Structure 1
Amino acid sequence: MSETSSLLGQADGDKATGRGSCRFTLADVAHARTGDKGDISSIAVVAWAPELYPLLVEQVTEDALRAHYRHRRLGSVRRYLLPRLNALNIVLEDALDGGVNSALNLDAHGKSFAFFLLTLPVEVPPTLRALLNPPSKSLSDHSQPISPARSLS
């Protein structure tokens, strides 16, 4: 399966009966915000509903994060669980090309890191789909192919 077709997702299980998980983006499950300190980017990821938090814990792993940001050649990737807040704190070291005062890139603060993280594909079972924000179709239910960074229109 190509990277594009795997990103667009496939329903697991029987589509006719509505059983099985479907692939959505992390934006459907959570919201995020980025902060920075030196060459470190910190991303808070907060589930839209407490029932969605276990999906974050299960699928937004350090390995998944490293793979998602592989183009950045990061140092360490750490994930901290914040169950009382239904949130994760993601810490990406060596992420900002030396930090705000050293970086020559257009996003020296790394503010786009949270938006990019929200494009991460996640599997959502049918029982939790009503909690998605906004309640939406799975990536495989769209009639036209969509880009990894889903359009807000």
Structure 2
Amino acid sequence: MPTRTSSARWSGDLKGGSGSLALGSGAFEGQYSFKSRFEEGTGTNPEELVAAAHAACYSMALSNMLAGAGFTPDSVVTNATVNFGQTEGGFAITRIDLVTTGNVPGIDEGEFLKHAEAAKAGCPISKALASVEITLDATLVS
């Protein structure tokens, strides 16, 4: 299996500084700052990137599990919300909320929900973030 890389650079102090980051694939380059992370400034932030990674991984994992059970999905769309804030130990990701919608021909809701929960536990990003509460709201639309 290949390894994956990304890079980031920060210049200056926390509040006045700025940073840039790039995915190793070249698919994305962006800016980040104190305001984009802790307020509502322009640019991205590490938590937004974690949310994107988790949504993508979960959608792939659920699609794979469904197909393996004989239900090839037309689509699986997942939104991930990363909750970030001050805790007793400092700033931390406190919870991740996954909201997924599956358009899966021939499956009933119970079967879909069973695979949705299994994908939440089995997705490699979920496993990497196991110390954080992960919620799931799964909806079958077909």
Output the TM-score relative to the length of structure 1.
0.33
State the structure with bigger RCO (CA 8 A, min sep 6), 1 or 2.
1
Output the TM-score relative to the length of structure 2.
0.34
More strand by share: 2
